[in-house]
Chain A
Amino acid sequence: MSALEPASRLAAPAPRRRASFPMSPLVALSAGFLVLVVFVAIFADWLAPVHYTTQNLLARMRPPMSEAGDMLHVLGTDHLGRDILSRLIYATRSSILIAVMGTLIGAVFGTLLGFLAARFRGLIDQAIMMLVDAQAAVPALILALTLLAFFGNNIVLFIVLVSLDGWEKYTRLARGLVVSEQASDYINAVEALGARSARVIFRHLLPNIVASLVVQATLNFPATILLETSLSFLGLGVQPPGTSLGLMLGEGRRYLLNAWWIAVFPGVAIFLTTLSMSLFGDWLRDRLDPTLRRR
C-alpha cells in the first residue's frame, strides 16, 4: 500500500467477518461436491477413461468393478458395453452446461423484464405481469413438453425451454426490489442529477439487488436441473448420441432387473447435485440476503 493512499481508506476498519453464518460441515461438504461437479464438467475429456460412445459388445451389462479386456469398469458397463463412469462424466458435463445456460437465460431475461415493469409501470408493467401470471399458471414441464411437440426437438430450443422454469420468479423479484429501491433517497438524488433510466438501472439499481438475484438463481438451479433431467429421462430432451444424466437414467430404466447400476449411478449423481445445491443455496441466502428467507 502506498503512502499516497487516502487517509480515510487507511483508517477504515478491516472488513468484519460475518461470523454469524459459519459454514456447517454439511454445507462445506455440499460446496466441495459442487466444486467437484464443476471440475468434472470442465475436464471431462481428460477425466473419462474412454470416450462415452465407445462400445464393447463383448462386455455388455458388466457389474461395477468388473474387468473386461485390459480395462477395469469401475461403475460397470451398459447394454452396449459402454463404460458407465465415462458416460457419467460426459453426462454431468452436458446436464450442468444446459442447466447453467438455462439459468443464465432465464435470469437475464426475467430480470430485464422486471426492470422494464418497475421503471415504466403503466401498460408495460401490466402486460409483463400478465405474462408472469400466465407462466405461473402453467407448469414449466408441461409447457416445455407442448413446445417440444410443436417445434420438434433441437438443442437450442431445448436450452431455451429449460430456462422457462423460473424466469417469472426473477421478474417478480427484480420488479419488487426495484419498486422499493426507487422510492429511496439515493435514487431520487441520482435522478435529480439527470441520470438516464439505463444508467440508473445498471449503475445504481442492479448493484444493490444483485445479491438477491444471485441467491434466487442458486435456489432455482436445482429445479432447472430437474426440468432438464426429467425431459431427457422421458426421451424428449437431449437425444442420442448426446448424453445427459436424465437420458442415462431413462435408458437404464429398461434394464433395471439385470443391470441396476445403469440407472442408479446417474440418479445418485442428479440427487447429490440438487441436494448440494439446495443446501448451499440455503446457506448463501442466509448469508447474503436474510430478507429472502424461504417460508
Chain B
Amino acid sequence: MTRFLALRVGRALLTLFLCVSGVFIALRAAGDPADIMLSMDTPPDVREYYRDLWGLNQPLWEQYLRYLFSVVRGDFGLSFADERPAFTAVVEALPKTALLGFSALFLALVIGLPLGILAAIRHNSVIDRLAMASAVFGYAIPVFFLGILLILLFALKLRVLPSAGSDSLVHLILPTVTLGLPLAGRLARFARTATLEVLGKPFIRAARGRGVLPLAVILRHALPNASVPLLMFLGIEIGNILAGAAVTETIFAWPGLGRLVVDAVATRDLPVVQACIVTVTLIMVVSNLLVDVLHILIDPRLGGFRGAQGAHA
C-alpha cells in the first residue's frame, strides 16, 4: 500500500511537471515572448531591457531551468492588468471558486445521490424514469444556457435573486444551481448504475435470504460497496466543475478563478493565464490523489482501515 501511494504521488508529480513544461514549450512555440507580452510600439531599448530582465537572451535550457525554479516558488511574473504578482491574483480568487464548487457539489450530492439510489431500488418505476431523464438533461444542457435561463426567470422576471456579484450568500444561489444541477443529473445516473450493480451481487441476495430488513440491506450492505465507484466518479467530475466554474463565474460576475482565467485570456494577460493553468492542474492532481487515498481507506480489500470490515460481505 505504501508502494501504491508512492507510485501515485510520483505520477502526480510527473503530471505537474509535464504541465509546467508544456506551458513553457507552448509559450516559446507561440513566438518571441517579448513580442507577445510587450505592446507593438515598445521602443527597442525598453524591449532589450525586458529581454534581459526575463532572461530571454540566455540559452533555452537555462531559460527553462529559471522558469522551473520560479514556478516552484510560485513566481509567474506580474499581471499586466494591475501589476500585482500573478500568483497573488490566483490565490485571492481561489476561495471564491472553492465556495462555489463545494456548494455546487453539495447540491448535487443532496439531490442526485438519493434520486439515483431510489431509482435503483425502485428499478423501472416513475422515480427511475425521472432519474434517467434528469441524467440525460445533465449531460446535454449547456451550463451557460442554464445560467441565462435562471437569470431570465429569477433575476429579470420574478426579481427575487441577484444575477451578479458575490457580496452575500444570496448571490451564491443562482451560480450554485447553474453549476450543481447538471452535476446532480449525472450523479443520479451514476449512483443508479453503481447501486444496481451491487444489488445484483450474490452477497445482497444472501443478506436478503437471511431475512435482513430491506432498509438494512441497502444501508449496511449495498451503499458501502457502491461508494467506491461513486468516489471515482467524483474524481472525474472535479475537472467538469472547474471548467463549468469558468463559464458560470463569467455569467454571474463571480470573482473566482474561472472568471480570472477568462478575463486574463481575453486581455492576453499571460502571467495570470500561466498561474491559472498550473493552479488548476495542481488542484486536479491533488484531488485525484485524495480520491486514491480515500479509495484505499474505504475499500478493505486494499488494506485500509479496519472499521469498514462489516461493510464488506
- Choose one: B11, B140, B152, B277; the contact of A222 (CB below 8 Å): B140
Q: Which of A134, A142, A152, A256 has the most CB of B within 10 A?
A: A142
Q: Does B5 contact A (CB under 8 A)?
A: no
Given contacts A149-B264, A230-B247, contact A130 B280 (CB under 8 A): no
Asked if residues B262 and A236 are in contact (CB atoms below 8 Å), the reply is yes
Contacts of A143 in B (CB 8 A): 277
Give residues 229-255 of B contacting A (CB, 8 Å): 229, 239-240, 242-243, 246-247, 250-251
Cα separation A226 to B182 with both chains bound (whole Å): 13
Stretch at the interface among A11-19, A61-69, A192-200, A267-275: A267-275
Q: Does B98 contact A (CB under 8 A)?
A: no
Please tell me the size bucket of the interface on B.
35 or more
Cα separation A229 to B145 with both chains bound (whole Å): 10
Q: Does B26 contact A (CB under 8 A)?
A: yes
Cα separation A270 to B284 with both chains bound (whole Å): 28
Cα separation A230 to B148 with both chains bound (whole Å): 13
Contacts of B148 in A (CB 8 A): 249, 253, 256, 263-264, 267
Chain B 4-42, CB-CB to A under 8 Å as 1, else 0, gives 000000010011001100110011001000001000000
Given contacts A145-B261, A145-B262, A150-B30, contact A137 B151 (CB under 8 A): no
Closest to B274 in A: A146
Q: Does B288 contact A (CB under 8 A)?
A: yes
Asked if residues A270 and B194 are in contact (CB atoms below 8 Å), the reply is no
Asked if residues A134 and B190 are in contact (CB atoms below 8 Å), the reply is no
Q: Does A151 contact B (CB under 8 A)?
A: yes
Q: Does B273 contact A (CB under 8 A)?
A: yes
Asked if residues A138 and B280 are in contact (CB atoms below 8 Å), the reply is yes
Cα separation A138 to B240 with both chains bound (whole Å): 10
Given contacts A138-B281, A142-B243, A142-B246, contact A229 B142 (CB under 8 A): yes
| Nearest CB in chain A: distance from B198 CB, A | 12
Q: Does B227 contact A (CB under 8 A)?
A: no
Given contacts A143-B277, A146-B273, contact A295 B30 (CB under 8 A): no
Contacts of A137 in B (CB 8 A): 15, 19, 239, 281, 284-285, 288
Asked if residues A295 and B142 are in contact (CB atoms below 8 Å), the reply is no
Q: Does B193 contact A (CB under 8 A)?
A: yes
Given contacts A134-B22, A150-B30, A233-B144, contact A139 B262 (CB under 8 A): no
Cα separation A145 to B262 with both chains bound (whole Å): 7
Asked if residues B265 and A148 are in contact (CB atoms below 8 Å), the reply is yes
Given contacts A137-B281, A278-B136, contact A150 B270 (CB under 8 A): yes
| Nearest CB in chain A: distance from B61 CB, A | 21
| Nearest CB in chain A: distance from B272 CB, A | 9
Asked if residues B18 and A267 are in contact (CB atoms below 8 Å), the reply is no
Asked if residues B285 and A234 are in contact (CB atoms below 8 Å), the reply is no
Contacts of A294 in B (CB 8 A): 193
Closest to B23 in A: A146
- Choose one: B15, B144, B193, B276; the contact of A134 (CB below 8 Å): B15
- Choose one: B36, B140, B246, B265; the contact of A275 (CB below 8 Å): B140
Contacts of B18 in A (CB 8 A): 130-131, 134
User: Can you list 27 pairs linking A and B with CB atoms under 8 Å apart?
Assistant: A133-B15, A134-B15, A137-B15, A138-B239, A138-B277, A139-B242, A141-B243, A141-B247, A142-B276, A142-B277, A143-B277, A145-B246, A145-B273, A147-B26, A149-B273, A150-B27, A222-B139, A222-B140, A226-B142, A236-B265, A246-B144, A249-B148, A271-B140, A274-B141, A277-B140, A278-B140, A295-B193
- Hey, which bits of chain B sit against chain A, CB under 8 A? 11, 14-15, 18-19, 22-23, 26-27, 30, 36, 136-137, 139-145, 148-149, 151-152, 156, 190, 193-194, 229, 239-240, 242-243, 246-247, 250-251, 261-262, 264-266, 268-270, 273-274, 276-277, 280-281, 284-285, 288
If A138-B280, A146-B277, A234-B262 are given as contacts, then 14 extra A-B residue pairs at C-beta distance below 8 Å, sorted by A number, are A141-B247, A142-B242, A142-B280, A146-B276, A149-B269, A149-B270, A150-B270, A230-B247, A249-B144, A256-B148, A267-B144, A277-B140, A294-B193, A295-B229
